[in-house]
Amino acid sequence: MRQQCRLINSYRYELAMSREVIAIRELEYAAKGKEARCRLTIKVFKPYLLQQGKVPFSFSPGTSGCELKFEGLDTKRFDTVFYGADMLQALQFAADVEPILKRISQDYDLYFETGEPYFE
């Protein structure tokens, strides 16, 4: 039986409200030592060119951002925007979720939807 899980919609950036999701990974997680599992949805949004005045730093033409969201956890700390020299690099940084999932796995056991452990 699954426990009741809260979905966290943590849009920190105004632009995120209209962003297009281009990739999703659906997982399940359980607190270490617990059996009850909740859904974890990881979303990568379409990369975009940065605009002057929208970020608190200076940048070169072509610099881009790509947003990554983790829905289902009780925290926003893993949600972020990755910046790159161009859209491809920003997307590459955002799509590399393994280091973040390894960090999350310190507190939670992660599973594929099939029930198999994500990290063995």
List the domain range (segments joined by +) for residue 71.
Answer: 14-112
Residue 7 pLDDT: 39
Asked if the structure places residue 62 within a domain, the reply is yes
Euclidean distance between CA atoms 46 and 87, whole angstroms: 9
9 inside domain: no
In this structure, is residue 73 part of a structural domain?
Answer: yes
Mean pLDDT by 10 residues, the chain (120 residues): 40 52 98 95 97 93 96 89 97 98 97 95
Q: Is residue 37 part of a domain?
A: yes
Tokens encoding 62: 């072509």
Cβ partners under 8 Å of residue 115, min gap 6: 28
* Residue 75 pLDDT: 80
- The reported pTM is 0.81
Residue 118 resides in a domain: no
Asked if residue 29 is part of any domain, the answer here is yes
Domain count, the chain: 1
With respect to residue 46, please indicate whether it lies within any of the assigned structural domains.
Answer: yes
The Cα 86–Cα 94 span in angstroms is: 13
Collect all residues with Cβ–Cβ distance below 8 Å to 71 and sequence separation of at least 6: 7, 8, 9, 40, 41, 42, 43
